[in-house]
Amino acid sequence: MNSSEIQVEQSAPPVTGWPGRYFEDFEIGDVYRHPLGRTVLPVDNSWMTLLTQNTAPIHFDAHYSSQTTWGKPLVDSTFTLALVTGQSVSDISQHVHANLGWDRVRLPNPVFEGDTIYSQSEVLTKRESASHRDIGIVTVRTIGYNQDGTIVITFERTLMVYRKGRGPHTAGVDPKWDDRSRRAAGIE
């Protein structure tokens, strides 16, 4: 056996992490609390306004914003939509074929720099696709809320989700232990 083929004994085979839901895994009425919160940093708001060429000073001019009802900069609402959508991916759209739309997007309360945003989604509908046998269509209502539980965004999202065994597969590469890797890991 050469050094690039050194095998390391494992007590058990690796366990695959959460693979995400396929069409068959969704049940109408299920609510999925998404596991990760995210604190909004001032740089997030600055970058979002720069990347999208949003020139509204309420998002990046503290002096201007201090003269508004809010008294400080508001986080760009498209950042909030993107963040909460992203938080839902592991539960809702890990196996997405395509997003079909975001509907009824509402922002009942503002988001400020320093807020931590959490989210959850409820399955509203599911049906088989009439044109794609390997896909189903799911609609969810997602809400985002801050560290106090105040809801800052609600929206419905409709997406096409692969059926089990029908979509692309993630890479199944196994690690290869060479001498250098063994030494770095302290394996003799």
| pTM score | 0.85
What are 129-173's pLDDT values in tens digits?
A: 999 999 999 999 999 999 999 999 999 999 999 999 888 887 778
- Span 68-73, mean pLDDT? 96
Whole-angstrom distance, CA of residue 16 vs CA of residue 7: 20
Whole-angstrom distance, CA of residue 36 vs CA of residue 79: 16
- Chain-centre distance for alpha carbon 27: 20
- Cβ(156)–Cβ(102) under 8 Å? yes
Q: How confident is the model at residue 118 (pLDDT cuts 50, 70, 90)?
A: very high
- Cβ(141)–Cβ(120) under 8 Å? no
Which residue has tokens 């999208």? 52
Q: Which residues contact 107 (CB under 8 A, 6 or more apart)?
A: 77, 80, 152, 153
Ramachandran class of 137: left when φ > 0, alpha when ψ lies in -120 to 50, beta otherwise: beta
